[in-house]
Amino acid sequence: MTTQSEAIAADLEAIRANYSLTDEQSQIVDHVDRVSREVLHPLQARMDDEEWWPDDLFKQMGELGLLGITAPEELGGSGQNEFTQALVSEVISKWNPAVGLSHGAHDNLCLNNLLRNGSEEQVKKYVPGLCSGELVGALGLTEPGAGSDALGSMATTARRDGDDYVINGSKIYITNGPIADVILLYAKTDKSKGAKGISAFIIETDNPGFKVAQKLDKMGFRGSPTGELVFEDCRVPASAMVGPENTGVSVVMSGLDLERAMVASVCVGMAERALELGLEYAKIREQFGKPIASFQMMQSKLAEIYTEVETARAFGYRALAACTGLPKGAGGRGEIHKLTAAACLYAGEAFNKAVTEACHIHGGSGYMQDTEINRLFRANKLLEIGAGTSEVRKIIIAEELLRA
């Protein structure tokens, strides 16, 4: 007789075979699955209770080979494509959503963006440390007054002063902000040009003009440190600029496309975990003299959750496949823009449905904060807000449809 986890492992193997993952990808997924289950899953309770991030966790992730998935091997990375990076995100998020979130901000938003857009010097300077976990990365885009209108309302400025830029402004809801060593930051270098006056910078957080105004207390993904960051006459050399001046918008927009494809994978991993937990509970919980899994109304929920998980996965993988090999500077418009926004929109809402039903299967116990299903439930809302709200994702899709 096979155990529950053996059955699930067999299922996952079949799924991977269906998507023709390469042997290398399968090995990576197996490795990440094992270490995430053994090392990251047990951290959930304390991270959630205390908004606690374990001090050495990035270094530990570096040692376990979880960082720099898309970085070249000679710089300490794994030399994989973004599809594989998303698979890694999916599996980490399944076993510890908060670590998955911090990992994504570090590995995709900061490191991968830097790889795609940074100069050779910048890449050499920061990427090895980001791959080993010696350095922790973050990305600074959202501001107190600039959310859905991130580009238009951006108020942070970078003023040229001799060989330096002087940055002033604040950023909010920045994942890894309170613990970051380097931040890929967007600021306006020419206010008169609107979105076309934005530039990207790489900021070292030991700069005296940088401070963490506050660490924020979240509903879900607790433990992944989120902060409000303030820049006060923060002076950086011109060499800290990523890409040419006033071309930040293409970095933002192409980065956001990849981010949305990653977020879809995060949703898939978490929805898959919600299914496992719902299934497990339905089989062991007995009422009216039998396991509640024997009741058709519970079976209906399980069937619907499974369908959401696999639909989100199929669509998410399709978007990721389209992202693979996306040329530098591409994205932020056209088919890829539409497809990644749609995959992200679908996955966020699919996870909402899946986790709502899986939590409901748990009855009263699912309402208790210290259950894993409750943590997943509380984490959901971010996935329909971050990386563009569901509404912004719809705007992108509709604009691309109507442009043709």
105 or 292: whose CB is closer to another protein?
A: 292
Residue 333 per-residue DSSP state: S
Active site residue 276: no
Q: Measured from the CB of residue 400, what is the shortest distance to another protein in angstroms?
A: 41
Pick the stretch among 66-74, 191-199, 286-294, 310-318 that binds another protein (CB under 8 A). 286-294
Closest CA to 96 of 133, 132, 60, 138: 60
3-state helix, strand, coil in the chain (%, to 5): 60, 15, 25
Q: How far apart are CA 398 and CA 403, in angstroms?
A: 8
Token output for 127: 């990427």
Pick the stretch among 113-121, 153-161, 282-290, 325-333 that binds another protein (CB under 8 A). 282-290
Angle between helices 4-18 and 248-284 (to 10 degrees): 140
Q: With binding defined as CB under 8 A, does residue 289 bind another protein? A: yes
Q: With binding defined as CB under 8 A, does residue 296 bind another protein? A: no
Q: With binding defined as CB under 8 A, does residue 364 bind another protein? A: yes
Q: With binding defined as CB under 8 A, does residue 363 bind another protein? A: yes
Pick the stretch among 63-71, 128-136, 257-265, 281-289 that binds another protein (CB under 8 A). 281-289
Q: How far apart are CA 215 and CA 394, in angstroms?
A: 31
Q: How far apart are CA 157 and CA 52, in angstroms?
A: 32
Q: Measured from the CB of residue 73, what is the shortest distance to another protein in angstroms?
A: 48
Q: With binding defined as CB under 8 A, does residue 286 bind another protein? A: yes
Q: How far apart are CA 396 and CA 374, in angstroms?
A: 32
E strand or H helix that includes residue 7: helix 4-18
130 or 292: whose CB is closer to another protein?
A: 292
Q: With binding defined as CB under 8 A, does residue 49 bind another protein? A: no
Q: Among residues 143, 259, 272, 308, which one is catalytic?
A: 259
| Contact residue for another protein among 4, 18, 287, 299 (CB under 8 A) | 287
Contacts of residue 241, defined as CB under 8 A and 6 or more positions apart, other chains included, come to 165, 199, 200, 201
| Contact residue for another protein among 2, 288, 327, 404 (CB under 8 A) | 288
6 or 367: whose CB is closer to another protein?
A: 367
Pick the stretch among 25-33, 118-126, 285-293, 306-314 that binds another protein (CB under 8 A). 285-293
Closest CA to 270 of 46, 100, 50: 100
| Interface positions with another protein (CB under 8 A) | 286-289, 292, 363-364, 367
Q: Which residues are catalytic?
A: 259
